[in-house]
Structure 1
Amino acid sequence: MGNSPPPSSSLFPVLLFARICGVAVAMLVLSWALAFKSSFLPRSSSQEDLIYSVLHPLLMVIGFILVSGEAILVHRWLPGSRNMKKSVHLWLQGVALGSGVFGIWTKFHGQDGVLGNFYSLHSWMGLICVSLFGVQWLMGFLSFWHRGEARLIRMKVLPWHVFLGLYTYGLAVATAETGLLEKLTFLQTRRNVDKHGSESMVVNSLGLGLALLSGMVILAAVSPKYQSLQTKLMYSRSEPKNLTS
């Protein structure tokens, strides 16, 4: 495999803003989890359950959404061959998948059990999202290590792989937004958290940061200028050489 085309310079502002949003999201979710621990106290009030309750947003936002977003951006900034980009992409997606699975397990670990935590739109969307992500990663893993298949088949599957990857990433962000709304509504109605207080501002800012981040990541992934360059190179490599008489 040869080297893939270099990223267009027009993508630099998008990539930079995506990184800024990612850092802001990480700082916000860390601040929420560490500065407002009382909001994550479960009914049992045990230290172990508190740790699992705090770990859930950290794993799902930083480990799942941020890492999977970085895996998507790898194809836009990392220099080198396609195989190296694919291996880094696959490794990062594996880390994101492990974080997502463990993040869901932290919710099922509590005293309420599986059914007690599996009742809301957020929980259903989260399970569907991680399941789709697992299927997507497995398909990528098999495709990466089994390169004997016909190139035409791989080219036909690639658009569906890209679509499912971006759809799952968008679904993950939407799932996080429903979780933030569900948690904030609970805090404001049952624990008398001020709607204009600092915690409400942190959670709302986190939701806004996730929305901006997802937009930048998806924009970088479907950038028309980069895609047009990639298509031209692909067709130029696949065109048969002119025969001279």
Structure 2
Amino acid sequence: HRGAEGGKTIIVYRLPWTWKCSKLLMKSIHAGLNTVAAILAIISLVAVFDFHNARKIPNMYSLHSWVGLAAVILYMLQLLLGFFVFLLPWAPLSLRALLMPIHVYSGLLIFGTVIATVLMGVTEKLIFALQSPAYSTLPPEGVFTNTFGLLVLVFGALIFWIVTRPQWKRPKEPNSVLLHPNGGAPEGAEGTMAVNFGNMDKSDSELNSEAAARKRNFALDEAGQRSTM
């Protein structure tokens, strides 16, 4: 379930029926879905540790548990980074452009890690749970779970396909303003470089940058007129 939530949060900007919605609304939906997934991850961890302790099963001994815990920790860090840098209007565009590649790469890495954790988890559960008949005899339970694992893999491949296809990319906003390198990163740099796709709506900082650029251009024009007099 956490993997499904993560997949939906990754492609939320790439769904064509969301392109008419404002970027701020889509950011809020993106953050909300990620928050729900984080809460579910915490509940799952607590349930697993409680179950292990009640059954006297050792904790954190398998590769599945190591990779799963690493995925949860990275996910929490990703959520905090996205909230404070990309959702709240405090961070400057230059910082967003700097951190966006990290945000994008870590998002895809975490999603792939979750897929791997699910596949290792179902395999581990089958090996321990199926004793008579054994998992190696391929009983109906094994066939069902193996099929489920293949569907999870197909789901992950579909998400990665949507993310990497240009035709699924959110179109640029018609009123977007392009800032040159000497004036900061291009508007929407966080969207054009990332899973969060699309250009940002104009924020107060962008409008201020636009006004500053116009003032500079006006000053240059005035200086040019004086030099020709």
- Normalised by the size of structure 1, how large is the TM-score? 0.65
1:119-177 per-residue CA deviation (whole Å, 9 max, x = no partner) reads 10001111100000000001111124531322121122112101101100100000111
Show the counterpart of 1:161: 103
More divergent stretch after superposition (121-130 vs 136-145)? 136-145
Q: Looking at both structures, which has the greater relative contact order when contacts are Cα pairs under 8 Å and sequence separation is at least 6?
A: 1
Contact 1:73 1:217 (C-alpha < 8 Å) held by counterparts: yes
Mark the structure with the bigger radius of gyration: 2
Return the match for 1:90 from 18, 26, 31: 31
Shift of the 185–211 alpha-carbon distance from structure 1 to 2, 3 Å rule, reads: same
Aligned: 1:128 with 2:128:
no
- How many residues get paired? 181
Cα drift, residue 115 of structure 1:
7.5
1:1-245 equivalent positions in 2, closer than 5 A: 62=1, 64-77=2-15, 78-79=18-19, 80-110=21-51, 112=53, 116-188=58-130, 190-193=131-134, 195-227=137-169, 237-238=178-179
Matched residues in 2 for 1:228 and 1:86: separation? Answer: 13
Matched residues in 2 for 1:115 and 1:144: separation? Answer: 41
Matched residues in 1 for 2:108 and 2:52: separation? Answer: 35
State the Cα RMSD in Å. Answer: 2.9
Matched residues in 2 for 1:149 and 1:236: separation? Answer: 18
- Normalised by the size of structure 2, how large is the TM-score? 0.69
Shift of the 97–119 alpha-carbon distance from structure 1 to 2, 3 Å rule, reads: same
Matched residues in 2 for 1:167 and 1:204: separation? Answer: 23
Identical-residue share of aligned pairs (%): 27
Contact 2:3 2:114 (C-alpha < 8 Å) held by counterparts: yes
More helix as a share of residues: 1
Contact 1:180 1:207 (C-alpha < 8 Å) held by counterparts: yes
Matched residues in 2 for 1:87 and 1:121: separation? Answer: 34
Q: Which runs of 5+ in 1 are unaligned?
A: 1-61
Contact 2:78 2:103 (C-alpha < 8 Å) held by counterparts: yes
